[in-house]
A and B are shown apart, each in its own frame.
Chain A
Amino acid sequence: MVRPKYKAVVIGGSAGSFSVVSKLLAQLNEDFPLPVIICLHRLKHVRSGLVESIRLKSKLEVIEPNDKEKIKAGKVYLAPSNYHMFVEYDGSFSLSTEAPQNHSRPSIDHTLSSAAYVYRNKLIGIVLTGANKDGAKGMKDIADKKGTTIIQDPKTCEMDTMPKSVLRLIKPDEILSPEGIVQYLNRLAL
């Protein structure tokens, strides 16, 4: 049996990323073979609404995981409001109410770095549009572990601070438009 090249996709985004994520999930193939772990900056006191909105267009099941929930292929996981979300070695999530990182809880750096530590070179990390530098360190951790790094082309971003912050730390493997990211991911399912 051939070992799969990747085990997970992890995505971070902030200002402007909701529409990009919605479009991406609407166009990902139904049989997409990997878990998609998403951390978006969101309002801390609004517990519901975001996951329901993302679900509307997604072909894959979208879940806001509980603490210690197992990560399964073909599902989309969205970091809950006001919690950091980490990937554990045993293939589950753990959540945390520790201090905000980069003024954010959930913090993209936390999710990306923990995924890098667990999945190493079998991880695809993607940073989308956003107005701060959260996610840049996480992408560096993914690159250091030989994972694949992709940023949204700053020219297509509503706010380009986040992908440009990644560019200051690493040279990503791919710089793609939202459509290009969809095509890249769907090719993995072939």
Chain B
Amino acid sequence: MNLVRIFPTVLRATGAIAILGTAALVLWRGMSLLGLLIVGLSIPAAWVRIDLEPIGYVTLAPLMIFTGLLLTDTSVPLFVAGISPVVGGFISGQLHWDRSLEETGGEVIAVLAGLLLASQVGGVELLAPGNSGWIAGFAIVTVAYITVRFILSAVGARVLQGVGFVTYSIAAGKAIAANLTLLALLAVGMSYLASAYGRSGYFILALAAIAVVEAYQPFKLLSDQRAVLYASLAMVAHAIDLKDAYTGRHARDASEIAVRIARALRLPEPEVRKIKLAGMLHDIGKTGVSGKIIRKPSRLDPEEMAVMRRHPVIGAEIMQPVELLSDASDIVRHHHEHFDGSGYPDGLRGEQIPIGSRAVLVADAFNAITTDRPYQKARSKAEALEVLKKHAGTQFDPLVVEALEGVIHLVP
């Protein structure tokens, strides 16, 4: 499906054009002192970037966009929309040009949509507070902006991550819409104060922007720490893989495939999160198994086999006492159960096996076949799928294999 490529490319191109275009617009029109202040305040605002589950983000840049819409001419909010993702990435030290350009594209399209709609209805000049009709004008722009942002991120989630529209709306989509609405209301209050108190109004504006940044800061801390936590789990999984013949990103890829399968099966989002963790850490129990057994190319003798077969149980035992991971420990325990009951450790069959375990088993096998292993070369995705289909109903759940087939173009 080409949408996977087209959608981000279009956003990025728009973003690149927007950065240059808005910079040119500002150079041409010049900027007032107030405009400069708003652009300056958008730097700390853009620094507060909160990543949402399963995908999407909230920043405070819209606060300055809305304030700019109310207090200055349109070049300032457009400029803020154009530069804030890049500035935010730059000052937090994690500038990814691709992502920043995509976000720039989204922001600018949304602001432009708002301005266009407002100019169709009644003209943008009405916006400054105090002028008659400014509420209506501002409401139109904001509603259009929020709607476009919401739709763009929902489409992004659908196209890039396979998250359904409804699932997205009740998770990240809801948070995006609610926060943008809150920021719009705050911007109204800030603009009112700034225009009501003359010179000291600028002072109030700066204080208010910093106060909002401070109020959001715990959520940024949380979001950053969550990223570090997931990264550290990935590191643990990666390190455990070193006991095996070195396969690079196996744990991470297996987790991603399992998540794709889970989304294709339309599992609820909390279940998907568990599967993501379990997919990553499914082999963590191998810490307790000697590397000699794990890497042995020939058949294992019964004793070695018994040791090897304990790794799902050990893994579940490691995860059980850790909050956040304990939910996923069941999936790890059963990730070697076969659909016909011939697996281990408990010999469960069919529906008795947690759906997460069935997904992780298929993802693990698929990734193993499509990467180089000491005992065989990597095979193509199509070949791997043939193998999985051959064992569907005995080893694998046919529904899960079918789900994987549906998203085969999306998996690594």
A associates with B: no
